[in-house]
A and B are shown apart, each in its own frame.
Chain A
């Protein structure tokens, strides 16, 4: 069986984007998007856990009995989260401090368990690793976009670099987090709806063109 890697990539990044389309893993999304840098840090930490947990679960998918699969998945995920936590504490203590409580909470991030259950436990290792990578990147891109939006409006800076003095404190507050997320989901739905409509119209247009061409040929045939 051949795996469609292009479809996995497009699914993870756009058509079933974990943040904007499936609305999974909302807690870190709301809490850590006050700054774009935190968004990238959290996104990459989740991506790392997602890739390795997907690989291990895919390798063990025939060994783990069906009844105890959820505890087994959680154990695997918790192990990788512990590894990420120790690595970050050692290599990037600043980022470790700013992610704080939300770093151990990656364990209960629904995205990872959802991919383990719906993808990694049914596909081969390479496909699962790819799925982990692209779903993680979809999450990272979403968090970074929201982080940049809130950082520019809320503190007039991007990636910690000051742009101007103008700032709207609302976007740094907790209610601003909910509001920004709402706007982003609505925009995503609006744009993806428009793209799907345009694609449909293009397809219909082609069908109509073919019909007209055929009609012309038919008409000419009739005149002669």
Chain B
């Protein structure tokens, strides 16, 4: 139980993917203009991240490592991610058109989201995972849980950001600061808030 809580707190707050590890900044800045699309993007990314961990971790540990072709990981992972995203898109189109209409536009963007490839690369780095989470050894359960909660951490950050930006967009802002710079200044304050968790 304590271990489970540690994974949750570490993945969502202490090592938040967006504001602490700087993964998935492009959608964080690009798709955070309104609350609804931010939530949609966040949940879609969470789903893909969980599924990616579930597939890439066993492939790396049981196929690439025994064959001594660890250096192929980047090529293998990016193809798995692209395939997952493509399959989700086809499945959604066929079985749930409403969900497809809500999430469809974000799906192609997810393939090139660094948070997804980032989580796949992170969970296979056993030494780093052990030091972050304070666990004794890595297994597929921890990998999938970490993927799920890292995705939820991403969702939390992007939703907070969308809330702030909806307010900020109504303010009169200098034309040079408009757009990306002011969004990044907001992100700086969010990062400051998350910094408190690292002090625990």
Chain A interface residues (CB < 8 Å from chain B): 23-24, 26-28, 30-31, 71, 74-75, 78-79, 81-82, 85-86, 101, 104-105, 107-110, 113, 173-179, 181-183, 185-186, 189-190, 193
Nearest CB in chain B to that of A112: its residue: B112
Contact of A105 among B72, B79, B114, B185 (CB under 8 A): B114
CB distance from A73 to the nearest CB of B (A): 11
Instruction: Tell whether B99 is near chain A: CB-to-CB under 8 Å.
Output: no
Query: B82: which A residues are within 8 A, CB to CB?
Result: 71, 74
Chain B residues contacting A107 (CB-CB under 8 Å) are 74, 78, 117
**Which residue on chain B has the smallest CB distance to residue A188?**
B176
CB nearest neighbor in A for B116: A108
Q: With A175-B188, A179-B188, A181-B184 given, is the CB distance from A82 to B177 under 8 Å?
A: no
Residues of A within 8 A of B138 (CB): none
Indicate if the CB atoms of A23 and B180 lie closer than 8 Å.
yes
Per DSSP, chain A at the interface is helix
Docked CA distance A31–B118 (Å): 13
Q: In the assembled complex, which residues on chain B have CB atoms less than 8 Å from the CB atom of A190?
A: 176
**Residue from the list A86, A104, A108, A182 in contact with B188, Cβ < 8 A:** A182
**B92 at the binding interface (Cβ < 8 Å):** no
Query: Is there an interface contact between B74 and A178, defined as CB atoms closer than 8 Å?
Result: no
| A108→B75 CA distance, assembly (Å) | 11
B interface residues with partner A (beta carbon < 8 Å) = 19-26, 29, 71-75, 78-79, 82, 111-114, 117-118, 121-122, 125, 174, 176-177, 180-182, 184-185, 187-189, 191-192, 194-195
Q: How many A-B residue pairs have CB under 8 A?
A: 113
In the complex, chain B residues whose CB is within 8 Å of the CB of A101: 21, 118, 121-122, 125
10 A-B pairs whose Cβ atoms sit less than 8 Å apart in the complex: A74-B78, A85-B74, A101-B21, A104-B73, A105-B114, A107-B74, A108-B111, A175-B192, A177-B188, A185-B180
Q: Given A27-B22, A78-B75, A105-B118 in contact, is the A175-B176 Cβ separation under 8 Å?
A: no
- Of listed B78, B82, B194, B195, residue having the most chain A CB within 10 A: B78
- Tell me the complex Cα distance, A175–B73, Å: 32
Nearest 3 interchain pairs by C-beta: A175-B191, A178-B188, A182-B184
